[in-house]
Amino acid sequence: MTMAFLCMLAATRIQDIAQTLVDRFHLPCEYAFMLTTALRFVPNFLADSEITLDAQSCRGYSNRGNCVKRLLSYVVVIRPLVMRAVAKSETLALSMELKGFGSNTYKNMPREPLGAADFIVLGLVVVLSTYPFWK
């Protein structure tokens, strides 16, 4: 299932995922936006963690020792990472508020019908996902 999910994320635009969640699964657009925003920020969060780790290692941070010592010393990396994520989320919330998100502006999106290639890929994913069960 994880591989199928990763393949879907690699082959599908985030906007199409949000539109499908709203149209086909009748999920409120706020929840669909929240899910797709979380998917969009995962690579940014990983890049920020790498930048923060590099910056802390330039300042003399060392993650050597046993597991407990490494876990306690990782707080030095987590604090700036969380602060940066909170700042980005506040900026996103402000920009969404200024653009009028949630005022029924996403109800008028055009529907995109599924094509033959979509059904073929969907069938292939189902067959490959259930292969261990019917083998």
- Per residue in 46-84, pLDDT (tens digit) is 888 888 888 888 888 777 777 787 777 777 788 888 898
DSSP class of residue 88?
Answer: H
Residue 60 maps to a domain: yes
Res 13 pLDDT > 80:
yes
Ramachandran region, residue 73 (left: φ > 0; alpha: ψ -120 to 50; beta: rest): alpha
In the chain the first and final C-alpha atoms are separated, in Å, by 17
Q: What is the residue range of 43's domain?
A: 2-107
pLDDT per position as a tens digit, 16-27? 888 888 888 888
Per-residue tokens: 105: 């502006």
* pLDDT mean across residues, the chain: 83
Residue 122 maps to a domain: no
Residue 80 maps to a domain: yes
In this structure, the number of other CB atoms found within 10 A of the CB of residue 105 comes to: 11
Residue 112 maps to a domain: no
Distance between CA atoms of residues 52 and 128, nearest Å: 39
Please list, residue by residue across 61-87, b when 16 or more beta carbons sit within 10 angstroms of its beta carbon and e when fewer do. eeeeeeeeeeeeeeeebeebbeebeee
Res 106 pLDDT > 60:
no
pLDDT above 70 covers a percentage of the chain that reads 93
Q: Return the residue matching tokens 């653009």.
A: 99
Res 123 pLDDT > 60:
yes
Per-residue tokens: 83: 């602060």
Mean pLDDT of 94-122: 78
Residue 123 maps to a domain: no
Count of domains forming the chain: 1
| pLDDT at res. 109 | 61
What's the chain's length in residues? 135
Residue 116 maps to a domain: no
